[in-house]
Structure 1
């Protein structure tokens, strides 16, 4: 039996990047999304804090509220409550983490082509990396204002519901759980999902992570000790002084590779192996350990059955702290030195430099970045890297830091990447990924014309969907034959109330029909008997 696991769908939402294409553009160009805390959210938090401090037994001495800079979402309150089976009031008292991860997981499943009847009743597992950290939960926030809302908000705020609600809504019958190992949680969730697929506990799994910083207030009582002074993450750089806060969510959908190929699924990349360990009794409970990290890499390579010399990119944990970065580099050096003396053959980077640290959600974000790098065959640059950290000897080691995007060279075998995530309490995870090369596509268009359909819950959503399809054709992201595009639109998407249909013979005809609909016209392609049926 093959142990290869296919990544068949993914979704990501971070500031300035609401989908995988925008996210890849941020990564490929080496952009940093650090900015001030959004003005509207700032005003709302300031209003809440004034209320809280006025009612506190020990009022805060400070008069001015200061916020960290970071990679923050402009809005965290927007949510299609009806789509996810909630009333407006239920949605309002549901933790924004749950609202965001629900949306991201659904989009990942939709990207994989599994929604509606194709998914209902299936043995699909849901694995979410998340932690209810100290410092004030969303339930605490609104119960201080109106304690009567507590009962209504229970299912929206119990941590396990981040996974369980999706299983309930979509009638998924596989394992459904939230995993907490601090910053390695979502990568550990992927490791657990892989094991469940191989054991037969589920036939498909969605793995997700999410992070929202409710109130990134600069205050001595809220400091955890790893914050960057200006919100910028400068991994492996001499100017690094900590990690910046990040917000967003990411999800991947996994299936056994043999099943994915038999079912005709798209495959972004292949999970070849994974490993998890703990630092044990290291220097201190919250300090990383290079020996444990080296052991982790060796275990993951062994599980994947790969020669580490074939790994061309490593997505490191890379929190840009004075302690953590040199220890991680030493772990890399140790692991590679046991297998090869070659120098500077493996690029290193971290998505934290682009989007900040999503803590429990950071592991799956690193996986998405590495998967897209494999898919596009591009080594992305490490953002914010200017001067090498003098505590790290990059010249005499197996890795190098890419300063700009470049083509990923072809080797004797498939391109491979690794992704690491290390938890604050010492739980570490690593995943080995491999590029997927699809078999040559079948030639010919079959027997046109073909029926193309779209549907959405509202006219506005349908209009946005039309625009997204037209933009995807213009950008070359849809470049297969029109038969496959129509099959996907008809079979792999759930049916909703507001619909349109065209009969088309090629992509140019589909593009013309979409553009006409955008312009408020009724295209000829919508007037055929098949389209009107």
Structure 2
């Protein structure tokens, strides 16, 4: 693969989604075509504080992409006082938590990493304030609270403050396209050398308070039948997705794990060339795809999947396919029904400000694994799409990426109400350069904030090394594991060192730590276990950063109950 120097690497990712507590669970759900939308019962709706007349309304959409544990937060771990955590917008708590998880996935310890880290993020309106805090005490000085803390403006700065990040911290608010616009903004900031790493993504927490209206955005049952003749919109849902981005050249030099590459991106607005403020624009959507393709400098016929905005409305879907077709044909793509067209909304619902980032997660995982996930609920194409005359088809079952389509590439679209459009071109990561076998012995440094957390983390690391559930590269090399633990994790007070020569001795040693009987060590390793600031990474022979289990979190409920 040839690069221009303008490519951006995805070196870390994290998220929580309806029916999926993390990114690996999401990928399994996408491969299996899972419908993760939950149908709320009357009791569940009452517990959320919905009025009896709304619950009885036949137009109420009960289907919603529910996020488990949305009320829970490990406030102590992130240094947030309990009373502040209870008042904090759960969107800020979720995004803070998953930003930290994403940095862990990237092997970045902000306290020791000298690279400047920026934060670019978007969030939905603070409904927790509207439906919890305001009703609890209408007379409180909420204006001061919102003006200084809990509005979406402060989402990235909360993360920068809590994690000690000094790059640009920029809120991006463009409705449903917020998180993908944040990714584009972060990528450009990296190319402009405004930061060296960037957190980018979005979060949304809503409740099932939406009503279906004929011709509206919300379907009667909360399901999104993207590109289907039966499409009537989509339901909303909760979720958060965060990426760690770096310049590709820097990431390769640093030895980072590259999940995928962003080859091109673009952001524009439909302007006035549309039926109304809330209506999509054909020219604007075609233009943003055209600009992203031009920036990527690739043949559009090399793209095997488009993760579309896919709102499930008859007009919106037809216009989006027409815009994609215009852009691809103008760029020289003569294929018919050759490029898969999907929408993660069919699995999760519309995650609003997090929708674009959720689609990008799907695309990154698809090009990495070489698998095109099925689009649920698709039975009969909307005839207005005229798919046989386009480069696109909707996959009804999960299939392997064509073996001759290399490098694997995907496009990702997200369009916000009001007309701000974003499109990103994703490409599989370059193959790692060959390395000689790792030779030990190795020192695996494990630390945590409490003895229980240390035992838990050691057990999870042992499981990670002892499982067959790895990607095509197999289990991580121990030199990579040693480097990641030594340089990409904070040195917490409770520590242990596991000397090992192979995976079997590593797993056995970690099990001893989990059982409270860590292996004995001496020299610098013993000094580190005793609390000294010792550099344990002594292998300069090309060890790399790899994703590993992160420090356990202990979330507890921080929530203003209805009527409390």
TM-score past 0.5 threshold: yes
Distance 1:127 1:217, change over 3 A: same
Tell me the alpha carbon deviations over residues 38-71 of structure 1, each in whole angstroms, 9 at most, x when there is no partner: 888644323xx56xxxxxxxxx866748662121
Identify which range, 37-46 or 500-509, moves more after superposition: 37-46
Q: CA deviation at 1:342?
A: 1.6
Going from structure 1 to structure 2, the CA distance change for 1:354 and 1:468 (only over 3 Å counts) comes to farther
What is the aligned partner in structure 2 of residue 6 from structure 1? Answer: 9
Find out whether 1:236 has 2:227 as its counterpart. Answer: yes
Separation in structure 2 between the aligned mates of residue 319 and residue 450 of structure 1, nearest angstrom = 51
What SS class does the counterpart of residue 411 from structure 2 fall into?
strand
Q: TM-score, normalised by structure 1?
A: 0.90
- 1:342 aligned counterpart, secondary structure: coil
Shift of 1:434: 1.1
| 1:93-130 alpha-carbon deviations (Å, 9 max, x no partner) | 000000001011111111111124234x6421100022
| 1:479-490 alignment, distance < 5 Å | 479-490=475-486
Q: Quote how far apart the aligned CAs of 1:148 are.
A: 4.3
**Aligned counterparts of 2:54 and 2:428: Cα–Cα separation in 1:** 53
Structure 1 CA distance for aligned equivalents of residues 448 and 44 of structure 2: 29
Q: What secondary structure, in the 3-state scheme, does the structure 1 residue paired with 2:77 have?
A: coil
Confirm or deny that 1:513 pairs with 2:509.
yes
After superposition, the Cα gap between the structure-2 partners of 1:208 and 1:340, relative to the gap in structure 1 and judged at 3 Å, is: closer
CA contact (8 A) 1:233 1:240 kept: yes
Secondary structure of the residue that 1:499 maps to in structure 2? Answer: strand
Change (3 A) 1:467 1:64: farther
Question: Does the Cα contact within 8 Å between 1:98 and 1:156 map onto a contact in 2?
Answer: no
How do residues 446-465 of structure 1 correspond to structure 2 at under 5 angstroms?
446=439, 448-465=440-457
Q: Distance in 2 between matches of 1:374 and 1:295?
A: 24
Is the 1:9–1:108 contact (alpha carbons within 8 Å) kept by the matching residues of 2? yes
Selected match of 1:294 from 274, 286, 290: 286
Report the Cα distance in structure 2 between the residues aligned to 1:475 and 1:229, rounded to whole angstroms. 42
Correspondence 1:93-492 to 2 at 5 A: 93-119=87-113, 122-132=115-125, 136-138=127-129, 141-146=132-137, 147-148=139-140, 150=142, 155-213=148-206, 215-218=207-210, 225-281=216-272, 282-338=274-330, 339-411=332-404, 413-446=406-439, 448-473=440-465, 474-477=467-470, 479-492=475-488
Number of residue pairs matched by the alignment: 513
Tell me, in whole angstroms, the C-alpha distance in 1 between the residues paired with 2:463 and 2:214: 43
What is the root-mean-square deviation of aligned Cα atoms in Å? 2.5
Within 2, Cα distance between the matches of 1:397 and 1:481? 45
Distance 1:458 1:404, change over 3 A: farther
**Which secondary structure state, in structure 2, belongs to the residue aligned with residue 32 of structure 1?**
coil
- The answer (yes or no) to whether the contact 1:129–1:187 under 8 Å persists in 2 is no
Query: Deviation string for 1:409-458 (max 9, x for gaps)?
Result: 23364111110001110111100111112333412222x22111222334
Residue 503, structure 1, aligned to residue 495, structure 2: no
State the secondary structure of the residue aligned to 1:181: coil
Q: 1:330 to 1:498 in 2, by over 3 A?
A: same
Find out whether 1:35 has 2:38 as its counterpart. yes
Give the Cα–Cα distance (whole angstroms) in 1 for the partners of residues 210 and 158 of structure 2: 34
C-alpha spacing 1:158/1:405, structure 2 compared with 1 (3 Å) = same
CA distance in 1, matches of 2:357, 2:55: 39
Q: Does residue 81 of the first structure (1) align with residue 75 of the second (2)? A: yes
Q: Give TM-score, length-normalised by structure 2.
A: 0.85
Contact 1:481 1:506 in 2 (8 A): no
- Relative to structure 1, the CA distance from residue 62 to residue 234 in structure 2 (aligned partners, 3 Å threshold; closer, same or farther) is closer
Q: 1:511 deviation in Å?
A: 2.4
- The structure-2 alpha-carbon separation of the partners of 1:247 and 1:412, relative to structure 1 and needing over 3 Å to count, comes to closer
CA distance in 2, matches of 1:36, 1:322: 23
Cα offset, 1:153, TM superposition: 7.3
Matched, 1:19 2:58: no
SS in 1 for 2:383: coil
| Equivalent residue, structure 1, for 2:548 | none
Query: Which secondary structure does the structure 2 equivalent of 1:246 belong to?
Result: coil
Q: Distance in 1 between matches of 2:190 and 2:22?
A: 26
**Aligned equivalents of 2:96 and 2:498: distance in 1?**
31
CA distance in 1, matches of 2:5, 2:211: 52
- Compared with structure 1, are the counterparts of its residues 348 and 464 closer, same or farther at alpha carbon in structure 2 (3 Å cutoff)? farther
**Alpha-carbon distance in 2 for matches of 1:265, 1:175:** 22
Q: Structure 2 vs 1, CA of residues 457 and 68 (structure 1 numbering), >3 Å: closer, same or farther?
A: farther
8 A contact 1:210–1:248 mirrored in 2: yes
Retained in 1: the 8 A contact 2:45–2:55?
no
Does the 8 Å CA contact 2:227/2:310 hold for their aligned counterparts? yes
Shift of 1:483: 1.5
Cα deviation, residue 262, structure 1: 1.2
CA–CA separation in structure 2 for the residues paired with 1:224 and 1:14: 27
Contact 2:90–2:128 (Cα < 8 Å) also in 1? no
Q: Which runs of 5+ in 1 are unaligned?
A: 51-59
* Residues 113 and 149 (structure 1), Cα distance of their counterparts in 2 relative to 1, 3 Å cut: farther
SS in 2 for 1:192: helix
* Aligned counterpart, 1:55: none
TM-fit CA distance, 1:78? 0.6
Contact kept, 8 Å, 1:93 with 1:149, in 2: the verdict is: no
Maintained 8 Å contact 1:186/1:363: yes
Q: Please tell me whether the aligned partners of residues 313 and 417 of structure 1 are also in contact (alpha carbons under 8 angstroms).
A: yes
* Cα offsets for 1:392-425 (capped at 9, x unmatched): 2222220111122222123364111110001110
Evaluate the alpha carbon distance shift between residue 452 and residue 211 of structure 1 in structure 2; reply closer, same or farther with a 3 A threshold.
Answer: same
Where 2:15 maps in the other structure, the secondary structure is: strand
Corresponding residue SS for 1:285: coil
Which residue in 1 is equivalent to 2:562?
Answer: none
